[in-house]
Amino acid sequence: MQMITQNKRLLTLLAGGLSLLLLPAVATQLSPEMNWGKEDFIIAGFLIIGTALIVEIALRKFKNQKNKGLLVLAIVFFAILLFMEMAVGLFGSPIAGD
């Protein structure tokens, strides 16, 4: 029974995360200032899927609720920072966007 619950949670994380890609897809259609290409959607999809999988692994491995919460927050925070760096180059690293 626990495995079914964990698999449902994983599917929810993946579906919820990937549904976030609808926002830039709609914005790209409505605004000429938003110009994501296929490669942008692919990279964002990989980042979202990777984050969801890492969160799921953390939730399955750690038993302490406080540790789970802090770890999930840290993972999501890191993913957001990585996305921002790739998009606009906050830190000027080689992966920074245009």
pLDDT one digit per residue (tens) for the chain, 98 residues? 677 788 899 999 999 989 999 999 999 999 999 889 999 999 999 999 999 999 999 999 999 999 999 999 999 999 999 999 998 888 888 888 76
Note the pLDDT of residue 93: 87
Cα 30 to chain centroid, rounded: 23
**Alpha carbon distance 34, 31 (integer Å):** 6
Rounded to 10°, the helix 38-61/2-19 angle is: 150
- Pairwise CA distance, residues 26 & 44, whole Å: 15
pLDDT of residue 1: 65
Distant-in-sequence, close-in-space partners of 58: CB < 8 Å, separation ≥ 6 = 68, 71, 72, 75
Q: Is the dihedral angle over the CA atoms 57, 62, 68, 71 positive or is it negative?
A: negative
pLDDT of 98: 63
* Predicted pLDDT of residue 28: 93
Residue 40: the pLDDT is: 92
Q: Rg for the chain (alpha carbons), in Å?
A: 16
